Amino acid sequence: MERKLKERATNHADEVRLLYEEMEFQINEERRKTVAEEVVRERALSMNLQNELKQKERELERISQRQVALEKQVQELSSGKLEVRSENAQLVQLNQSLAEELQNTQKDLEETKVHVEAIERQKLQREEREQAEEEARKLDLEKKSLLRQLEMLREVNRKLRDDKDEAQQRNKLQTSTPKQRPPLFTQGSNVGKYFPEAEKHSEVYSNLHNLEEVRNIQRPKFEVIDE
């Protein structure tokens, strides 16, 4: 009887372990799916920012080249063509405008770089936080599984002790009243050859089996809620 109960307890513990492994697998799949979607969005945003950054750099290069050309043109006009002073003044003004535009473009470029660096830092912090949360969740699931298995083993041990005490009490009663011994039972178990209460022991086994089936049917479904 103890061996059968231990086997049932072991099978039940295996079922609980498989259930927790399945739950953990589903949680990990959902988390990986969410992380993958976030990575895709962040990658798209990063690519857009990189493209914008490259565009700003190209614009900066174009403006710089244009400024150099205008400065060269101004120097050539100033060297010996006094008759074109008005045009020279316009070129100087244009050069100033280009210098201001260049300064604004450089400022925008620096802001874009800062934004990209901030996104990269946030991404790294999020990945580290998710890894820590995943480790804590695994430890919590393992702890709950071990506690439930310990409680199941305690319950099986209590049942075994109760059955053992009951069998000993019945043996004492049979020994003290030999004249009222009922017919021996031999069907289903060899215990009936030696104990007159073998049929009741068979009923105990049946009740234990039914109790185990009820536990399996009414076993609650655990749901992990992300905080």
For residue range 117-161, what is the model confidence (pLDDT) as tens digits?
Answer: 888 888 888 888 888 888 888 888 888 888 989 989 899 889 999
Q: How confident is the model at residue 186 (pLDDT cuts 50, 70, 90)?
A: very low
What domain range includes position 207? Answer: 2-217
Q: Is residue 224 part of a domain?
A: no
Question: For residues 85 and 187, which has the higher predicted lDDT (pLDDT)?
Answer: 85
Residue 68 lies in a domain: yes
Residue 226 counted as domain residue: no
CA 12 – CA 6 distance, rounded (Å): 10
Q: Distance (Å, rounded) from C-alpha 33 to C-alpha 72?
A: 58
pTM: 0.33
| pLDDT per position as a tens digit, 2-17 | 677 667 777 777 777 7
Length of the chain: 227
What is the number of structural domains in the chain? 1
Token match 């050859």: residue?
A: 193
For 7-53, the pLDDT digits (tens) are 777 777 777 778 778 888 888 888 888 888 888 888 888 888 888 88
- Domain assignment present for 11: yes
pLDDT at site 90: 79
Contact assessment for residue 50 and residue 116, using Cβ atoms and an 8 Å cutoff: yes
Compute CA 4 distance to the chain's CA centroid, rounded to the nearest angstrom.
38
What is the Cα–Cα distance from 14 to 70, expressed in whole angstroms?
82
> Would residue 223 count as lying in a domain?
no
Least confident of 20-34, 61-75, 78-92, 98-112: 78-92
Q: Determine, yes or no, domain membership for 128.
A: yes
Mean pLDDT of the chain: 74
Burial of 201 (0-12, 13-18, 19+ CB in 10 A): buried
Q: What is the pLDDT of residue 83?
A: 63
Judge whether 225 lies within some domain. Answer: no
Reference 222, options 158, 163, 166, 140; nearest CA is 140
pLDDT over 70 at 187, yes or no: no
The confidence score (pLDDT) of residue 84 equals 61
Is position 158 within any domain?
yes
Closest by Cα among 99, 122, 100 to 45: 122
Cα angle value 80/82/84 (rounded, 5°)? 110
pLDDT of residue 80: 63
